[in-house]
Amino acid sequence: MSNEKIQAGLDKYNASVEKATAKFPERPNLPEQRLYTPLDIKDTDYADEIGFPGMYPYTRGVQPTMYRGRFWTMRMYAGFSTAAESNKRYRYLIESGATGLSCAFDLPTQIGYDSDDPISEGEVGKVGVAIDSLADMEVLFDQIDLGKVSTSMTINAPASVLLSMYIAVAEKQGVPADQLKGTIQNDILKEYAARGTYIFPPRPSMRLITNIFEYCSKNVPKWNTISISGYHIREAGSTASQEIAFTIADGIAYCEAAIKAGLHIDDFAGRLSFFWNAHNNVLEEVAKFRASRRVWAKVMKERFHAEKPKSMMLRVHTQTAGSMLTAQQPNNNIIRVALQTAAAVMGGTQSLHTNSRDEALALPTEESVMIALRTQQIVAYESGLADVIDPLAGSYYVEALTNKIEKEAWEYIKKIDEIGGAVAAIEKGYIQKEIQDSAYKWQMDVESGAKTIVGVNKFQIEEEPPKGLLKVDASVGVAQCKRLADMKAKRDNDAVKSALADLKKACQDENENLMPHILNAVRTYATLGEICGVMREVFGEYEAHVNL
Amino acid sequence: MAKVRVLVAKPGLDGHDRGAKVVARALRDAGFEVIYTGLRQTPEQIAEAALQEDVNVVAMSILSGAHPHLFPKVVNLIREKGMDDVLIIGGGVIPETDIPALKEAGIAEVFTPGTPTGDIVDFIKANVK
């Protein structure tokens, strides 16, 4: 059918509908158009913009056969209480068919404080596992073969220290560093913008990150050295376009920092990975995944002149949207997570964490985690969504939406370039303000009823308080502090002192790669707080300024 | 009557401040004077800020599970400084079963996920001294 014929048909259709909508107005907050046709993608060149899986610009996926080869990695984020408790949960997940580990650390660990620091009071073991030294890490991975499992660690400001601990545990297991597989989040820019677990100011933080890129490219080549994260930007309230735009802008900043430090783009870009949110609007999310791959491929090829295909591939881990879980009628969250899983899979994710139904209330129970993992397995094995590659390609709506999100992302990236890049845009509070404005708009839409959240502002019922939630006992903190004191009494304190003095000297020399020095300190059982304390002394701490 | 002054505070190490910022803005739009502390405030810092800023209300947000420890600590410090009339409220990911103990400790009301910001505004208007 020619475009003229389609246009004529569309005009006729629109005229007929106009009469109807006078009588039956449509719902608010819908896409601009009610119907998409070939006319909406007539300017999209299939070969240039959509293409084939495993080929530039990777709109249809980064691997040639996608899930027909193997499913995505089903990676459940877990960790709470002590290393021994979390080790039990990890082994339970592996026995249940999880194919990768994902470590959640408690807040003191994420911010570089030991469990016995006064600031850690009340927080030890709460949102993740408490790790004070190599001794805890040894317990965390007890009876788990680090040569076989791939491990993702949600750790940012002190990523260098936790990665060093992982390498040191592997050494003790007899697994060489070049066999280790996994990811550290290591994405400090989104901590300033959205997540909040920063320690040092941007400059030394960027140095630590490029030190890790360099060290791993030589010594831990299978490790994903960063997971550039839109997840938390979205959780903080951004839109889908903002999520990928701000994250890719962060990615550009990391590449520029590494190149400035003397690295070649193709030496590290293949180990960069991303982290997206799978939100409620299924088709918008699928379009977001597709658009993000296209934007990143173009950035790498056109802006950084990468040559290796691997450098241009946006590989992504996904987590379903925690902020979309409701405390009201929590079993409904199972359905939300199933739809979000469908979006991530049709979007072509490389790995996925599915949230549990009770996470708007507390950390998940074992039973809830099992349902969340089974949701992935049902989508994989029963739904048919993973049977062909990029199944929504060619949908007039999804292709048009992919184009729209890509266009909006480029506009933001241009704006951030004009401000002076992501670091400057964060320092000026631009990115934070954009996210806050979107979060506020969302909340107002929910309160006005323009947006419906089932069980929250519509279809509410009287409910009994939920029973059987997981509770981390306050005694965990006491026990962990005792463990730490016992460990300190047993270690060689002279060796610790000298390793920390050596690290301090290295921090003061900008040309020194800090990784070998941190690894040495870790091996002496210097604690996370001691190591980060040395870095705090030299680097100082970041101070945030908030514009409401 | 003078404008009601509210300190929105994030005690502890938790970095989730979407809720705190949205509530801060909604309270401001409702006509209150709002001061936001930013992240990682110790109970001492919050009590001191409440005193310095001469606020009528302290509204705290925690999503990390540290509320049983931190909320009561802030209440005690504020009362120790002689601010007997300050209304203290809390919010975040807080299981229903924890709420009676928090109220016992002096938290006037606890707002959990899904609460319309209007409910918080109404509560402050009805209870501020």
In this model, does residue B1 exceed pLDDT 70? no
Q: List, for residues A530-546, the tens digit of each pLDDT value.
A: 999 999 999 999 998 88
Quick one: tokens of B87?
């209304």
Domain containing A310 — which CATH number?
3.20.20.240
Per CB-CB distance under 8 Å, the chain A contacts of B43 are none
CB proximity A469 to B under 8 Å: yes
Mean pLDDT, chain A, as a whole number? Answer: 95
Q: Using CA atoms, how far apart are residues A253 and A248, in angstroms rounded to an integer?
A: 9
Range of the domain at A362: 185-383+393-430
**Which residue in the set B15, B34, B96 is minimally distant from A465, CB to CB?**
B96
Mean of pLDDT values over A136-144: 97
- Answer yes or no: is the ipTM higher than 0.90: yes
In this model, does residue A348 exceed pLDDT 90? yes
Strands B5-9 and A226-229: unpaired
pLDDT computed for residue A18 by the predictor: 86
Per CB-CB distance under 8 Å, the chain B contacts of A547 are none
**Which residue in the set A327, A436, A469 is minimally distant from B113, CB to CB?**
A327
Q: List, for residues A154-176, the tens digit of each pLDDT value.
A: 999 999 999 999 999 999 999 99
Residue A227 domain flag: yes
B14–chain A nearest CA distance, Å: 7
Per CB-CB distance under 8 Å, the chain A contacts of B32 are none
Q: Which residue has the tokens 């939100």?
A: A279
CB proximity B127 to A under 8 Å: no
pLDDT computed for residue A485 by the predictor: 98
Q: Please report the domains of chain B, with CATH numbers, ordered by start residue.
A: 5-127 (3.40.50.280)
Per CB-CB distance under 8 Å, the chain A contacts of B102 are none
Q: List, for residues A471-501, the tens digit of each pLDDT value.
A: 878 789 999 999 999 999 999 999 999 999 9
Closest residue in A to B21 (Cα–Cα)? A548
More confidently predicted of B95 and A333:
A333
**Which residue in the set A107, A122, A361 is minimally distant from B69, CB to CB?**
A122
Per CB-CB distance under 8 Å, the chain A contacts of B26 are 440, 443
Residue A470 domain flag: no
In this model, does residue A415 exceed pLDDT 90? yes
Mean of pLDDT values over A256-267: 95
Give the least confident one: A135-149, A455-469, B85-99: A455-469
Q: List, for residues B65-81, the tens digit of each pLDDT value.
A: 999 999 999 999 999 99
Quick one: tokens of A94?
């592996």
**Which residue in the set A121, A327, A360 is minimally distant from B69, CB to CB?**
A121
In this model, does residue A382 exceed pLDDT 90? yes
Residue A35 domain flag: no
A419–chain B nearest CA distance, Å: 24
Q: List, for residues A106-130, the tens digit of each pLDDT value.
A: 999 999 999 999 999 989 998 899 9
Q: Using CA atoms, how far apart are residues A337 and A285, in angstroms rounded to an integer?
A: 13
CB proximity B79 to A under 8 Å: no
A435–chain B nearest CA distance, Å: 9
Cβ–Cβ gap B42/A119 under 8 Å:
yes
Q: Using CA atoms, how far apart are residues A173 and A176, in angstroms rounded to an integer?
A: 9
**Which residue in the set A110, A362, A548 is minimally distant from B24, CB to CB?**
A548
Residue A465 domain flag: no
| Percent of chain A's residues with pLDDT above 70 | 100
Q: How confident is the model at residue A321 (pLDDT cuts 50, 70, 90)?
A: very high
More confidently predicted of A312 and A79:
A312
From residue A269, alpha-carbon distances to A2, A219, A436, B69, B106 in Å are 44, 16, 31, 44, 53
CB proximity B18 to A under 8 Å: yes
**Of A64, A7, A57, A61, nearest in space to A392 by CA:** A61
Q: Identify the helix (H) or strand (E) that includes residue A12.
A: helix A3-23
Q: How many domains does chain A have?
A: 1
Per CB-CB distance under 8 Å, the chain B contacts of A113 are 13
